[in-house]
A and B are shown apart, each in its own frame.
Chain A
Amino acid sequence: MSTHRRVWYPYASPFDPCPPITAKTYSTPPNLFLGFQPPNLEQFTPMQALRTGTLWKVFYDPWYSPYEAPRDGDHI
Chain B
Amino acid sequence: MWLYEKKLQYPVKVSTCNPMLAKFLVEQYGGADGELAAALRYLNQRYTIPDKVIGLLTDIGTEEFAHLEMIATMIYKLTKDATPEQMKQAGLDAHYANHDSALFYHNAAGVPWTASYIAAKGDPIADLYEDIAAEEKARATYQWIINMSDDPDLNDGLRYLREREIIHSQRFREAVEILKDEQGKKRIF
- Residue of B whose beta carbon sits closest to that of A68: B155
Across the interface, which residues of B come within 8 angstroms of A51, CB to CB? 160
Q: Does the CB pair B152–A71 fall under 8 Å? A: yes
Q: Does the CB pair A65–B155 fall under 8 Å? A: yes
B interface residue numbers (CB < 8 A to A): 10, 139-140, 142-143, 146-150, 152, 155, 159-164, 166-167, 169-170, 173-174, 177, 189
Chain A interface helix/strand/loop/mixed: loop
- Residue of B whose beta carbon sits closest to that of A56: B167
Q: What separation, in Å, do the CA atoms of A62 and B160 have in the docked complex?
A: 8
Q: What separation, in Å, do the CA atoms of A63 and B10 have in the docked complex?
A: 17
Check A36/B177 contact, CB under 8 A, given A31-B170, A53-B164. Answer: yes
Q: Tell me the smallest distance from the CB of B184 to a CB of chain A, in Å.
A: 19
A interface residue numbers (CB < 8 A to B): 27, 29-31, 34-37, 39, 50-54, 59-68, 71
Q: Does the CB pair B169–A65 fall under 8 Å? A: no
Q: Does the CB pair A31–B166 fall under 8 Å? A: yes
Across the interface, which residues of A come within 8 angstroms of B142, CB to CB? 63
Q: What separation, in Å, do the CA atoms of A56 and B155 have in the docked complex?
A: 21
Q: Does the CB pair B159–A54 fall under 8 Å? A: no
Q: What separation, in Å, do the CA atoms of A66 and B149 have in the docked complex?
A: 11
Q: What separation, in Å, do the CA atoms of A62 and B159 have in the docked complex?
A: 6
Q: Tell me the smallest distance from the CB of A75 to a CB of chain B, in Å.
A: 11
Q: Tell me the smallest distance from the CB of A31 to a CB of chain B, in Å.
A: 4
Q: Does the CB pair A65–B149 fall under 8 Å? A: yes
Q: What separation, in Å, do the CA atoms of A54 and B150 have in the docked complex?
A: 24
Q: Does the CB pair A37–B160 fall under 8 Å? A: no
Chain A CB within 10 A, most for which of B139, B149, B150, B170: B170
Q: Does the CB pair A67–B173 fall under 8 Å? A: no
